[in-house]
Amino acid sequence: MLTHPAHARHTLIEVADLEQDPPPQPVRGHERALRTVVDWARNYLCRPHPDLGRTGSVCPYAQGSLDRDAFYLAVAPGRDHTPADLDRLLVTYRDWFVDLAARHGTAAQFTTVLVVFPDLRPDDVPPVVDRTQERLKSRFVAHGLMLGEFHDGPPAKGGLWNPDFPALRCPVPLLAIRHMVPTDFLFLRDDPDHVRAYLARHAGQIPPHLRATVRDAVDHFGLEPVTGGAGAR
């Protein structure tokens, strides 16, 4: 378990903490929800699905994150979460994520932080999870990060390869922080600042199937042409 260097009440739980007997104090009272999230990661994210629309696991990075001990869980208990409180909480974990990823060196891309909301009722989920993701997305993208919403609604977003596949379904509501990767462009193409942030990091790594889409967005927003490497026009 990790404790934030400047905010002692913020902790990150590691998978190994769930195997302790007894578990650390932050785990107690939320052990069932945390175990459910880890089981979901192992048995859903890390495995193929017939409706995914492509080969491979649902999340290409989840197994690597678990294998490298770069998979962290934070608990946000209770139901009384104001937008201001949520913004402060998520920005704190965003900045901590950046520091943690640097410590993982070559495995930095596998760093994952899941902020879990174990006490939310179904009616709480849209304002706490969905609206927070919408409100803070740009503040994460600007740092080369993605903020994803997951819950049992599920979120009204389909998979990249099969729009009918509920890729963001999770039995416990949570917000996930991870690094932006080259295949994320379809999540970013509708905002010029997001496109700029993407190009600043991945202009030379654009997957072939996305090159035309990137060019269209660059032309639409009047941005500098993509040059260099695999992203060349």
Q: Tens digit of pLDDT for each residue in 126-174?
A: 999 999 999 999 999 999 999 999 999 999 888 888 888 998 999 999 9
183, two tokens: 């295949």
Please list the residues that pair with 117 across neighbouring strands: none
The CA–CA distances, whole Å, from 90 to 41, 85, 151, 195, 202 equal 21, 9, 17, 22, 25
Residue bearing tokens 């690597």 = 64
| Average pLDDT taken over every residue of the chain | 93
> What pLDDT score does 26 carry?
84
Three-state SS at 212: helix
pTM for the structure as a whole: 0.93
Q: Tens digit of pLDDT for each residue in 185-214?
A: 999 999 999 999 999 999 999 999 999 999
Is the pLDDT assigned to residue 230 strictly greater than 60?
A: no
Look at residues 170, 192, 197, 193 and name the one whose alpha carbon lies nearest to residue 182: 197
β-strand 71-75 against 112-116: which pairing, if any? Answer: parallel
| Range in 105-119, 153-167, 168-182, 207-221 with the lowest mean pLDDT | 153-167
Q: How far apart are CA 218 and CA 233, in angstroms?
A: 11
Please list the residues that pair with 145 across neighbouring strands: 179
Do 207 and 183 touch, CB atoms closer than 8 A? yes
Contacts of 222 (CB under 8 A, 6+ apart): none
> What pLDDT score does 30 carry?
95
Q: Tens digit of pLDDT for each residue in 50-74?
A: 988 889 999 999 999 999 999 999 9
Do 75 and 13 touch, CB atoms closer than 8 A? yes
pLDDT confidence bin for 229, thresholds 50/70/90: very low
What helix, strand, coil percent values describe the chain, rounded to 5?
45, 15, 40
Percent of the chain with pLDDT over 90: 79
> What pLDDT score does 159 carry?
82
Q: How far apart are CA 68 and CA 77, in angstroms?
A: 27
| Range in 80-84, 140-144, 153-157, 222-226 with the lowest mean pLDDT | 222-226
Do 99 and 36 touch, CB atoms closer than 8 A? no
> What pLDDT score does 174 carry?
98
Is the pLDDT assigned to residue 87 strictly greater than 80?
A: yes
> What pLDDT score does 231 carry?
40
